[in-house]
Amino acid sequence: MTTTTPGAEHELVLTRLIDAPRRTLFRCWTEPELLKQWFAPLPYTITHAELDVRPGGTSMITMRSPDGEDMPLPGVYLEVVQDEKLVTTDAYTSAWVPSEKPFMTAIVTFTDEGGKTRYTARARHWSAEDREAHEKMGFHEGWGQCADQLAALAAKL
């Protein structure tokens, strides 16, 4: 079951109870070969993932559209709590170098619920306009589909 909650004026939230331990979901977020299998809503794909999972570490993920357009998604980890929480932002591209146009900070939490995991993904935007644009781009559908793909992958691990 998925629930979506309109958070603060600048926030979009997706919550799901996934039948997998939080350690497994954390691995799917932090191991490049696992992340590539679920992180983009099909038919989009992830063709490249470099993850330096530590506060201040960079990530470089490349998403490919069905028509072959590559979309680089650079970011920096702000907080990493093993098996519990990841915070990353596109406000920086690497080593605290500001990006041209920051869009959001993602806060992902994994809460144990008796062997299952309460998975919560928050997208906090720099403005209400960015939040609205992300919602119109299909935040709930796209991030919901990715959560389904994450749950399916976690069930195999």
Mean pLDDT of the chain: 94
Q: What is the pTM of this model?
A: 0.92
Domain ranges across the chain: 2-156
Superfamily of domain covering 2-156: START domain (3.30.530.20)
Answer whether 30's CB lies under 8 Å from 15's CB.
no
Q: What is the pLDDT of residue 31?
A: 98
Residue 120 has pLDDT above 60, yes or no: yes
Helix (H, G, I), strand (E, B) or coil at 104: strand
127/53 Cα distance (integer angstroms): 27
| Alpha carbons 94 and 125: distance in angstroms, whole number | 19
The secondary structure element, H or E, covering residue 117 is strand 116-125
Q: Report the candidate in 5, 15, 8, 10 with the shortest Cα–Cα distance to residue 143.
A: 15
Segment 60-118, tens digit of pLDDT: 999 999 999 999 999 999 999 999 999 999 999 888 899 999 999 999 999 999 999 99
Q: Report percent pLDDT > 90 for the chain.
A: 90
